[in-house]
Structure formats: C-alpha cells, structure tokens
C-alpha cells in the first residue's frame, strides 16, 4: 500500500490550483480573493510538508520514482515560503502596472508544484515532468506585462532558449536510458559497470540543460535580458525560487546514480563554477540597470553554490544548501528595496536612481547597505558565513585553485557593490520616493535585514538543520 500522506502536499497543491482556476473563470473581479487563497494554500502546503515529511526516514514511492527524505522536505519548505513572500510583496507592484490578474498567483502555484515534483524526483521521467511544469508557467510569467515590449521580448527569449535546453536535457535522458535500460536513479547506479564513457555523453547533455536552468556560464545568455525585461516581481521569483529546485536536482542526479563517475563530472562542475564566478563578477561592473546587475550577481552566486557541489563530499552539499538559503534571504531584502523605489506610481530601477538615497530615506539606505555588504561577503554578515562555509568545504578537498578564483571573484564583486553604496551615500540626492508601502513589503525588508545582520549570533541553528541532510 502506497503511503499517500507523503505526497499529500503535492496532491493538495494541484487540487487547489484546479479549484482556483474554476473560481477565477466563474467569479468576476476575483483577483484579490484568488491572491489571498493562494497565500493560504502555500502556507497550508508548507505546514503539511513540515508535519508529514520532515524528519522521516528516506522513503521511496511509486516504484522508486519519488523519494521523500530530509533534503526534499527542507527544500520544499524553503520553496513554498519563498513563493509566499514573492506573492505577498508583489501585489502593489502588479496593481500599479494594472496586471493584478487571477492568472498571476495560479501560475506561481503551478511553477511551485513543478519544483516540488523536481525536488522529490528519483527518476529521469519524473524530473523532466516537474521541469516542464515549472518552465511552462515561467514562460507565461516572463511575458506577464504584455503591453511592455521588453517583457514580451524577455518571455520569447526565455521560451526559445529554455526549449533548446530542455531538448538537450531530454536527449541526455534518452542516452542514459539507452545505455542502462532504466530511468530510475537507483537502477542506473547499479548498471554502471559497462558503457561508462557512453553514459558520460548523457551526463554532459543533462548538465548542460541544468546549467541553463540556473544560468551558469556559458549558458547564462538569457538571464540579463529576461531579468531586466520581466516585471520586477517576476524577476524576484526567477532569482530565488527555481534555483532551489535546480540545486536539489543537481545533488540528486550527480550523487545518487553517478557518484562512482565523480572523476568525469567533477571537472564539468569546477569549470561551470569558475566560469560563473569570474564572469558574474566582471560583467556586473559596467551595468547601469539594477535588475541586470542582479542577474550578473546571481550568475556569480550560482558559481559559489556549484563550487560546494564540486567537492564531492557530504559537507559540500550541506554548505551549498546553506548558501542558497542565505542567498534567498539576501535577494528578498534586495528586491524589497527595489520595490520601494516608487515615485508618482512609477518604479525606478537604474543604479543612478539610488543617488543620495541616504539623505531622504536613511533606514531604507541602511538596510540596502547591509544587504549589499552581505552579498559582497563582508563579515560578520550572513553572506560572509555562506561563502566561508563553501571555501571551507573546497579547501578540505584540497581544491586550492577553485578557492583562489572564488576569493578573487569576491574581491572584484565587492567593487560594484561598493559603487552602489557610494552612489547612495555621497552623490547628490534626488526627489524623495513614496513612503506608502504595504505592511508586508516593510516586513520582508525588516526580516531579511535583521536575519542578515544577526546571523552570526545563531549560525548553529541553520547548520544543525542542514546537517541532517546525508546523501553520500
């Protein structure tokens, strides 16, 4: 008898999506109602996940195609809470652009469902199903502000390039199936005695597809344009949530079926990591648009996350999970600041628009200062600890070159973060921004700032939670 309780979060979420679709069609002007129900659904789903799956022993369901363990439960909870905060802080922005429609929260829920399927996948077919469910919703979200040319361009670019990467990924899956006779991760692991070099081709194709999804160099070309063109609330979602699911798939895919082939995929990860760190740091220097800068910054941060995975150790996996958690927290604060840059119902997103912010908005500029310092990895803020854990894992495996590149990239990246701080504190002030922000927007900024600032007091809390993740 299959224990359906363990997949109840996904069942509840999919039924809720269907209900909301029907409600939205039959009830006119129900945007606000559907938004509120969606928020409740996300909270209930995270509570169910917490109660039903967190802390249970590793369990395989549906002919071993779904895995429920501590890693999947933890990542699902982070995904759900991040999606909740994205939804709750973006309503004012959507109203300003008159795109506060019923489809928005439903698309967010659909992509979250796809991510949850990806996180629990122990089979190439299940993983691909989750990926496509996530991607289809994200295509529409990127073009959500369809009256704006940039948004339409962003959606089209993302669709074309993402379809290409999905094709490569599917080709890789079919190669692995052809050489091993199975799509199940556990069975693949047992079939690796022969055809190892042939299987490597399949691994490479899948890693290319996954690298695209997390915008790792050299498969990053879509990120700056899509981040800039999409509505800011969608960019926030792109920056944070899909990366959680992609990181989990990286861990599952590399460490369960192909751990014995570590010599063959480790060099690929090291290359992706080094290229992403260097490019993310250098390319961001010349940017004038904040969203494009965040895109290049996110490419750099992906490099650090992959560095942890490239170590081939359980410690490296845990530290990558810690890194992505702190990264989400920092991005939440950064975008909360960005959504507060509004004057006369117009949002500003250029770096020059931050000119003299400290004089008119001292608290906002202080929060932004702390977030930027944290992103740069300045102690004793949370971002410093995130990078410290990664470097510790890398050095323990004697990967000195990777550590040196990471350190130099951090120094270069600190330059463009400091440039923004200089503009905020020393340039001539501009007209004041509106201060009538929603309570939730103020809450998310305050929460992220406090957690970033005081992380050093309770770092053991997060480490203790993550230390239960044991893959190897």
Along the 472 residues of the chain, how does pLDDT read in single tens digits? 567 778 888 999 999 999 999 988 888 878 888 888 999 999 999 998 888 777 777 788 888 888 888 888 889 999 999 999 999 988 888 888 777 788 889 999 999 999 999 999 999 999 999 999 998 998 888 888 777 788 888 888 888 888 888 899 999 999 888 888 888 888 888 877 655 777 888 889 999 988 988 888 888 888 888 888 888 888 888 888 888 999 999 898 888 888 888 888 889 899 999 999 999 888 888 888 888 888 898 999 999 999 999 888 889 899 999 999 999 999 999 888 888 888 877 888 888 888 888 888 888 888 889 999 999 888 888 889 999 999 999 999 888 898 899 899 988 888 888 888 888 888 787 778 877 778 888 888 898 999 898 888 887 788 888 888 887 7
CA distances from 361 to 172, 342, 351, 355, 388 (A): 51, 12, 16, 11, 32
User: Which pLDDT does position 195 carry in this prediction?
Assistant: 59
User: Which pLDDT does position 40 carry in this prediction?
Assistant: 92
- 233: exposed, middle or buried (Cβ count in 10 Å: 0-12, 13-18, 19+): buried
Structure tokens of 386? 């995130």
Q: What is the pTM of this model?
A: 0.93
51 preceded by a cis bond (ω within 30 of 0): no
Residues with Cβ within 8 Å of 471's Cβ and at least 6 positions away in sequence, in order, are 71, 251, 255, 256, 314, 317
Spell out a b/e string for 13-25, using b for 16 or more CB atoms within 10 Å of the CB, else e. Answer: bbebbeebbeebe
User: Which pLDDT does position 194 carry in this prediction?
Assistant: 57
User: Which pLDDT does position 2 carry in this prediction?
Assistant: 62
| 381 within 8 A of 452, measured Cβ to Cβ | yes
User: Which pLDDT does position 193 carry in this prediction?
Assistant: 64
User: Which pLDDT does position 264 carry in this prediction?
Assistant: 84
């Amino acid at each position: 008898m299959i224990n359906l309780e363990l997949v109840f979060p996904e069942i509840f979420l999919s039924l809720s999506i269907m209900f909301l679709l029907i409600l939205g069609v039959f009830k006119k002007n129900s945007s606000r109602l559907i938004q509120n129900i969606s928020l409740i659904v996300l909270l209930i789903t995270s509570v169910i996940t917490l109660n039903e799956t967190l802390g249970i022993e590793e369990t395989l369901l549906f002919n071993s195609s779904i895995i429920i363990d501590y890693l999947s439960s933890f990542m699902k909870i982070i995904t759900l809470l991040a999606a909740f905060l994205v939804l709750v802080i973006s309503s004012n922005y959507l109203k300003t652009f008159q795109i506060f429609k019923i489809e928005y929260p439903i698309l967010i829920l659909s992509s979250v469902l796809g991510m949850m399927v990806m996180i629990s996948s122990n089979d190439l077919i299940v993983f691909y199903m989750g990926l496509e469910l996530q991607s289809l919703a994200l295509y529409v979200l990127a073009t959500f502000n369809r009256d704006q040319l940039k948004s339409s361009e962003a959606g089209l670019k993302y669709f074309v390039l993402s379809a290409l990467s999905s094709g490569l990924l599917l080709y890789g899956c079919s190669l692995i199936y052809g050489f091993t006779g199975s799509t199940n991760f556990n069975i693949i692991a047992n079939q690796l005695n022969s055809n190892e070099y042939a299987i490597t081709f399949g691994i490479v194709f899948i890693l290319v597809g996954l690298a695209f999804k997390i915008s790792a160099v050299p498969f990053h070309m879509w990120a700056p344009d899509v981040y800039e063109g999409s509505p800011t609330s969608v960019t926030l979602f792109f920056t944070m949530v899909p990366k959680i699911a992609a990181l989990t798939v990286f861990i599952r895919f590399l460490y369960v079926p192909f751990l014995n082939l570590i010599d063959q995929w480790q060099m690929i990860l090291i290359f992706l990591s080094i290229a992403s760190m260097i490019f993310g740091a250098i390319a961001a220097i010349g940017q004038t648009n904040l969203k494009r800068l965040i895109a290049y910054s996110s490419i750099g941060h992906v490099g650090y996350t992959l560095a942890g995975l490239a170590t081939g150790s359980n410690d490296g996996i845990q530290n990558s999970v810690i890194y992505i958690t702190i990264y989400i927290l920092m991005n939440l604060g950064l975008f909360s600041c960005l959504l507060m840059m509004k004057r006369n119902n117009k949002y500003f997103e250029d770096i020059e628009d931050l000119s003299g912010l400290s004089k008119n908005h001292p608290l906002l500029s202080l929060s932004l200062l702390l977030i930027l310092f944290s992103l740069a990895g300045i102690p004793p803020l949370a971002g410093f600890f995130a990078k410290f854990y990664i470097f510790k894992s890398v050095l323990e495996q004697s990967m000195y070159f990777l550590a040196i590149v990471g350190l130099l990239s951090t120094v270069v990246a600190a330059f463009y973060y400091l440039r923004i701080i200089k503009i905020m504190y020393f340039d001539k002030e501009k007209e004041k921004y509106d201060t009538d922000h929603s309570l939730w927007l103020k809450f998310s900024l305050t929460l992220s700032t406090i957690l970033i600032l005081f992380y050093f007091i309770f770092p053991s809390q997060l480490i203790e939670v993550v230390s239960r993740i044991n893959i190897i």
